Amino acid sequence: MSAPWEPVIGLEVHCELSTATKLFCGCRNAFGEEPNTDVCPVCLGLPGSLPVLNIRAVEYAMRIGLALNCEVRPSLFHRKNYFYPDMPKDYQISQYDAPINVGGWLELPDGSRVRVERAHMEEDTGKTSHIGGGGRIHDADHALVDYNRAGVPLVEIVSAPDIRSSAQARLYASELRGILVATGASDGRMEEGSMRVDANVSLRPAGTFELGTRCEIKNLNSLRSLGRAIDYEVERQAGLLEAGEKVVQQTRHWNEDEGVTVALRSKEEAFDYRYFPEPDLVPVVPDPAWQAEVAASIGPMPAQRRAKLAGLFGSTEPTPARTDQIATVVEHGLDGLVAAAVVAGVEPGLALARTSNEAAADPVGARRLDPGVYVALLRMEQSGKLSATQAKTVLTEMLENGGDPAEIARRRGFEALEADSLATVVADVVAAHPDEWERYRAGDDKLVGFFTGQVMRATSNRANGKAVAAELSRLRA
Amino acid sequence: MTGAAPGPMARPALDLARGVREGSVSAAEVVERYLGAIGEVDGELHAFVTVLHESARREAAEVDNKVAAGEDPGPLAGVPVAVKDNMCTRGVATTCSSRILDGWCPPYDATVVQRLRAAGAIVIGKTNLDEFAMGSSTENSAFGPTRNPHDPGRVPGGSSGGSAAAVAAGLAPLALGSDTGGSIRQPAALCGVVGMKPTYGTVSRYGLVAFASSLDQIGPLSTTVGESAVVFDVIGGQDPLDSTCLERPVPRSASALDDGVQGLRVGLVTELVDGVDAAVGARVREAAEALAGAGANVEECTIPELRHGLPAYYLLAPAEASSNLSRYDGVRYGLRVDADTAEAMNAATRAAGFGPEVKRRIMLGTYALSAGYYEAYYGQAQKVRTLIIDALATAYQRFDVLLGATTPTTAFALGSKVDDPWAMYLSDVCTVPSNLAGHPAVSIPYGADDSGLPVGVQVLAPALGEPVMFQVAAVVERSAPRLAPPRVRAGTAAS
Amino acid sequence: MADDGGLTRDDAAYVARLARIDLTDEELDLYAGQLATVLRHAAQVAALDTEGVEPTAHPLPLRNVTRPDEPRPCLDRAEVLAQAPAVEDGRFRVPPILGEAL
Ligand SMILES: [Mg+2]
Ligand SMILES: [Zn+2]
């Protein structure tokens, strides 16, 4: 129904930086500790305490800015004043009109570009739990506050309203996450809240340019809820507009269970933040030398790495399936394994398949793999020493406990059958199933699976599937 | 009298430290003497919010042990220091003379407190102040006013009135105060003691409960210039816990004290003499003549921009304060007045916990920062701040130091200005320029008015100009007319 | 703002809500009047020609003051919570929160 309406979407992404300590104090920047154990006078906002800026947080912010093609600029911290129990000073130290990164862009895998307006530093708040009333804020009996997260360094990345669909929004978020991980500045875990996405959504008549009234959607804890929330909000606003009603600018909360967005109550004075320069901190002015040093510390970004992998298959456009496999491999940082295998003569398709399926299923174990050993395994499969099934079994064990593939194969009795003994087994199986054989001869190729299964049972999985198929068609010819 | 010998007045702090270091007197005896003095007259003055009998005795014993063991007990060995109660002391209530911090004990010491103890000094008590250092009379204290030792019917000035009264009455040889718009110098002048505001960034603010962060500085109060110089050298220097602390080492000020003023250029600032009470202006001009007599080249000069200092200050300081005081919300420490919602609890707690002047400044500062008024008020005041800095820079091309009154009047009667905020704010007119510029300034007692109330003369210097400032102040001090001892004074405290 | 450049009770009430302080109507009227007085003096500042003058947020020329990313000891939780008006499960307890975090 929202056909005549064009969605205009901008995303605000808050990501926690992977520093050892908080933004302005030496407390640990950790997740899941006992409540109020990572706190000190500074992050509790005790009277008399003062902030001192964490230099690594600044450098991580610069990495993100450089990776997003931003201009890194002299910057200032401001105070954003508003009262909330999980904010120890009742103001947030954030960057306002002089952010460290401005004017960048992000190119998505589909070739589209989304401009990045700014990526600035700020401190995180504590965590509030609403107790009673089934955890629903409005029915809660009281609230409990844990300040472990208060003062954790954040970078807020604000996109221009360049996004036009929920699919593109998801693509932007996942590509951004890949970039954050690649810079080493953040682990980008949406589930743990170390990457939090807010979406600004408005509609305008397709083909026009003036922006409509927008709503900001919060509490999007996964790419899935990001997509669902935007779709819902687009429908909701289209419904209003088509009914001749107005969209009211407001902040809305995504309710994952009911699949709806709900308006948050906000007071008249809620947006009068009284920003002013933070007098307890001095300006951050990254000179060219410092920027160069930081730039040099950043590895290649996902897009470059995907292109490099695709290059292994020559100049031809990779198939959609292959493109997905490449994306998976890069997302989990396993492109090194594939490259090593191909250089060692492993067929690229095989290397990519094993890495994107089995290895990516256990990325932690996969990053522990010694490329040499991994290559050895793929070689065994390629040469037919191991069947695909056997190779996968061996690989799964290697991912769990490491070890040498040949040794594991031997322990499991995985040495493949010699060609002639395979022929004998196939002949026996064919003799044992005359009806199926007739249908196969008549051209019912589905039966290849049946015969292969029989042969596998007879050889306790030691046969090579490809070899069995070859022998069957030889007999039929 | 250039390079003359030190003046005739007693220098209790340094004399005591020498005695303790030489073993002629024990830190324990000194502490008992001052605890006795406090017990004797503080009931009438109310300079102290908390007297630290036990910890002071413990610290004295440690100093005496060091002396006995032949270790260096430090330059302030055994010297009791009264600390304004807006500086954090671990495990000891730090009230800012406010109800809202009811029962709060900091889990840490302010950097200046650590440095005092490292120098052998003993924190003998926490002194009364205008709530959160907002005021010029110490009448805005939740615990009742402090009285002026020279006339208990009059105010000691503020906001460091407790510290100034304690030193004047001999209840402590030294004290620390904080100065945001004159809160060290103005009470020092009204109580007849020396009070010094250092260059912004030379003394760590870590552990000083913030009033206006870009203006606050901690500084010493003492009976003599030399003692303030020593304390400044002790508490000054970079602190990794304060981002606004200067990296460069604090110049050693105490060394320059006896160099005299031969050939120094002194500017007598019209805006800091005209318009003040006749007696005050007369004392300032006498001090100028004395400096000329000592070999300085004294010239009168005018810096019209200083006239904008007070209104600019009363936009900037409350704005920063309104933000600094948001954290007193009843959630984490101090007072809570319960209510049905967190928001209502915050509002009720702040209504009950803050006094009228603090509420007034929070309202003013919140308004100055609120949507639509930022540029007209806060933004414009920041530009005026620049104008004042530039005007002073120009003046310092012609002069080494500037001279003026510290306050427009001598001590006024308790209650005489509480209903007229602007009249009260005018007490800061001569002192705020140094805070806006971040420059050092010191007030030196210089005789009295017709009713025998102390007058203070102010020496101002450019950023990091403490050595020359103390150098000139020492000469002013030596030429100062003697001041009758305060009416309320510990007979036992003279040393 | 009222036409006379002073502050109305409503202006004062809005500011009090921003500052989150309960004030009685008497207090609102008192502060509205006193703020107006200060603002009249401030008008002198507002009237100055500051064309091309840079604002001074800070008296210091310092830049890039930072600390290394090294952990320092945290406070003891018992000591921290002992200062709190209300505590539950090692956390700070507050009445139900009406508004939302922004
Ligand atoms: Mg933000
Ligand atoms: Zn901390």
DSSP B105-140: --SS--HHHHHHHHTT-EEEEEE--SGGG--SSS-S
Q: Which residue, among A12, A28, A36, A124, would best test binding to C if mutated, counting the most C CBs under 10 Å from its CB? A: A36
Known active-site residue B55:
no
Residues A119 and A170 in one domain: yes
Give how far B362 is from chain A: nearest CA, Å.
13
How far is residue B231's CA from residue B208's CA, in Å, rounded to a whole number? 17
In a domain? residue B313: no
Cα–Cα distance for residue pair A85/C96, rounded to 1 Å: 10
Look at residue B358 and tell me if it is in a domain.
no
Of B314, B370, B386, the CB nearest to C55: B386
More confident residue, A377 or A268: A377
DSSP A323-338: HHHHHHHHHTT-HHHH
B417–C contact, CB cutoff 8 A: no
Q: Which residues of chain B have pLDDT under 50?
A: 1-8, 492-495
Q: Do residues C93 and A144 make contact, with C-beta atoms less than 8 angstroms apart?
A: yes
Judge whether B365 lies within some domain. no
pLDDT in tens, C19-58: 999 999 999 999 999 999 999 988 888 889 999 999 998 8
Residue at a domain's end among A272, A296, A320: A296
Chain B nearest CA to C4, separation (Å): 16
Considering only residues A250 and A461, tell me which one the structure prediction assigns the higher pLDDT.
A250
Same domain, A280 and A376: no
Nearest alpha-carbon partner for A45 in B263, C83, B190, C100? C83
pLDDT higher than threshold 90 for residue C6: no
- What's the CATH code of the domain at B61? 3.90.1300.10
Q: A275, A296, A317 — which closes off a domain?
A: A296
Which burial class, exposed, middle or buried, applies to B105 when counting CB atoms under 10 A from its CB (0-12, 13-18, 19+)?
middle
Return d(Cα C40, Cα A37) in angstroms, integer. Answer: 49
Does B363 reside within a domain? no
C72/A274 Cβ within 8 A: no
* Per annotation, catalytic residue among B97, B98, B136, B159: B159
Confidence (pLDDT) at B273:
96
Tens-digit pLDDT profile for residues A77-97: 999 999 999 999 999 999 999
Which residue did the predictor score with more confidence, A57 or C1?
Answer: A57
C62 contacts A36? CB cut-off 8 A: no
- Could you tell me if A244 and A355 lie in one domain? no
What pLDDT is recorded for position B8? 40
Chain B residues lying within 8 Å of A90, measured CB to CB: 326-327, 329
| Ligand with an atom nearest the CA of residue A12 | 1
A-to-B residue pairs, Cβ atoms closer than 8 angstroms: 98
Please list all protein residues whose beta carbon sits less than 5 angstroms from ligand 1, which is an ion.
A 156
Section A349-368 average pLDDT? 86
CA A300 – CA A313 distance, rounded (Å): 20
- Shortest distance between the Cα of A408 and any Cα of chain C, in A, equals 44
pLDDT digits 0-9 by tens, A257-274: 999 999 987 665 667 999
Residues A219 and A364 in one domain: no
- Cα angle B248, B250, B253 (rounded to 5 degrees) comes to 150
pLDDT for C79: 95
Report whether A46 contacts A32 (CB < 8 A). no
Among candidate residues A262, A47, C76, the one with its CA nearest the CA of residue B326: A47
C22 assigned to some structural domain: yes
- B333 in any annotated domain: no
The answer to whether the bond into B214 is cis (omega within 30° of 0) is no
Q: Is C28 on the interface with B (CB under 8 A)?
A: no
User: Cα B387–B390–B394 angle (5° rounding)?
Assistant: 135
Supply the mean pLDDT for chain A. 91
Catalytic residue list contains B159: yes
3 state SS of A380: helix
Is C58–A143 a contact, with Cβ atoms under 8 angstroms apart?
no
Residue B148 lies in a domain: yes
Q: Which residues of chain B have a CB within 8 Å of the CB of A89?
A: 326-327
Secondary element (H or E) of residue A340: helix A335-343
Where in A29-112 does DSSP place strands (E)? 53-54, 71-72, 78-81, 91-94, 101-107
pLDDT digits (tens, 9 = 90+) for A422-459: 888 888 899 889 899 999 988 888 899 999 998 888 88
Classified as helix, coil or strand, A292 is helix
Count structural domains, chain C: 1
Within 8 A of A280 by CB-CB distance, chain B residues are: 210, 213, 243-244
Domain that holds residue B417: 12-308+380-479
Q: Which helix (H) or strand (E) holds A450?
A: helix A447-458
Q: Are A46 and B333 in contact (CB under 8 A)?
A: yes
Would residue B493 count as lying in a domain?
no
- Are both A208 and A252 inside the same structural domain? yes
- Provide DSSP, A415-433: PPPPHHHHHHHHHHHHHH-
A282: chain C residues, CB-CB within 8 Å? 58, 60, 62-65
3 state DSSP class of A94: strand
Same domain, A268 and A334: no
Task: Let me know whether A371 and A438 are in one domain.
Answer: no
Q: Which two tokens stand for residue B93?
A: 């209530």
Q: Is B340 on the interface with C (CB under 8 A)?
A: yes
Cβ B65 vs Cβ B87: under 8 Å: no
Alpha carbon of A265: minimum distance to chain C alpha carbons (Å): 6
pLDDT at A411: 86
Tell me which residue in C73, C94, C102 faces A142 most closely, judged by beta carbons. Answer: C94
Asked, for residue C59, whether it belongs to a domain, the answer is no
Closest Cβ opposite residue C70 in set A20, A128, A277: A20
Residues spanned by the domain of A223:
5-296
pLDDT band at residue A369, thresholds of 50, 70 and 90? confident
For C64-92, what is the mean pLDDT?
A: 97
Instruction: Report residue C101's pLDDT band, with 50, 70 and 90 as the boundaries.
Output: low
Q: Please say which residue of A386, A411, A436 terminates a domain.
A: A411
Would you state the pLDDT for residue A267? 60
For residue A56, give the H/E element and its range: helix A55-67
Indicate the length of chain C as a whole number. 102
Cβ A41–B319 below 8 Å, yes or no?
Answer: no
- Tokens representing B141? 């204290």
Q: Of the candidates B214, B331, B333, which has its C-beta nearest C58's C-beta?
A: B214
Query: What part of C 23-62 touches A (C-beta under 8 Å)?
Result: 57-58, 60, 62
- Give the domain range for residue C33: 9-46
Q: State in Å: Cα A40 to ligand 2 middle.
A: 4
How far apart CA B293 and CA B287 sit, in angstroms, is 10
A407 and A436 both lie in a single domain? no
- The confidence score (pLDDT) of residue C3 equals 43
Place of tokens 């954050």: A180
List B137, B178, B183, B479, catalytic entry: B183
C56 inside domain:
no
Query: What's the total number of domains in chain A?
Result: 3
